[in-house]
A and B are shown apart, each in its own frame.
Chain A
Amino acid sequence: MGSPPLFYRWSSKIMPWLGILAIIFLSIGLFWGLLIAPTDYKQGDVYRILYVHVPSAILGQSIFMFMAACGLINVVWRAKISGMMLKSAAPIGMSFTLIALVTGSVWGKPTWGTWWVWDARLTSTLILFFIYAALIGLYSSIDDKTKADRAVSILSIVGLAIIPVIKKSVDWWQTLHQPSTFTLTSSPSMSPDMYQPLLLCVIGFYLIFAFTLTLNLRNEVIDRERSKNWVKQIFVN
């Protein structure tokens, strides 16, 4: 898997399945969540934003952790593919963080009465968005791709410090934001009718991430290896 030609061939087999599974999970999860799940007794129907907001926020943070892991592999073992993965994942992570911020803001208007507050959870998520932007900017500013990979790897490892701050922000500070919807230590406080479609949406979002990452990564592999014979054999014939 660490070899670019091997990854390229393997990914062409797995990518259509990722796309199909993502569409199935997202269609069922969103249809169930938006149209079938019961209305919340306090918030009414606006709570249904949760089916886009929560998976996006989870993805925004998970992708950053994935990137930090790739960064660590790149710094320690200098695996070529890990640098490519890091570069390919950054715009997707930034997109999901943007979706979480925008949908959270839209949800805030009818429930809190304001589009934005400088609340700990919101501010730390905004910082995560800026770290993603900084990673993409840093990568673009260095011409040598090996040096760019190393610089971005180090920044992603250092930037990982924001994740526990986001996660714990609702416990450490007094915030308007509700506590975490997903916790590993306790059972969900939501009704199963609301929770089950959310689980499907989270799986669907992870699959969409895997699909988009594979698309971006294949492009990155072709771009970096375009002078190699195996790439020419695929595209020139």
Chain B
Amino acid sequence: MLENFNNLLYMDGNGLFVWFCMAFFVLVVSLNILYAIKKKRQLIKLIRSL
């Protein structure tokens, strides 16, 4: 089990480079979506206060 996890994580020794890129992609896309959701909430609040 642990050996399988290590194979998945480290692959042929460069796995961390691959997973870092994946994590960076997920982080940037999530930030874009979360920022848009936050902005929508602020706009709704502003419209209701007008």
Contact = CB atoms under 8 A, between A and B. Distances in A.
A72 B25 CA distance: 30
Contacts of A236: 47-48
A48 B18 contact: yes
A215 B32 CA distance: 10
B18 A46 contact: yes
Interface in A114-171: none
Contacts of A11: none
Highest count of chain B CB atoms <10 Å: which of A30, A46, A232: A46
A181 to B, nearest CB: 16
A98 B48 CA distance: 36
Interface in B6-48: 8, 11-15, 17-18, 20-22, 24-25, 28-29, 31-33, 36-37, 39-40, 43-44, 46-48
Interface of A is mostly: helix
B50 interface: yes
A212 B36 contact: yes
A35 B48 CA distance: 49
A219 B47 contact: no
B32 A91 contact: yes
Nearest to B45: A235
A236 B13 CA distance: 57
Interface residues of A, number: 38
B21 A103 contact: yes
Contacts of A107: 17, 21
Contacts of A110: 14, 17
A76 B33 CA distance: 31
Contacts, number: 87
10 contacts: A30-B22, A35-B8, A49-B17, A52-B22, A52-B25, A95-B29, A95-B32, A103-B21, A222-B40, A235-B48
A49 B24 contact: no
A138 B19 CA distance: 35
B28 to A, nearest CB: 5
Contacts of A109: 17
Contacts of B28: 95, 98-99
A226 B50 contact: yes
Given A95-B28, A212-B33, A236-B47, A219 B22 contact: no
A6 B9 CA distance: 48
Contact of A226 (B25, B33, B47): B47
A91 B28 CA distance: 11
Interface in A44-101: 44-46, 48-49, 52-53, 56, 91-92, 95, 98-99
A46 B18 CA distance: 6
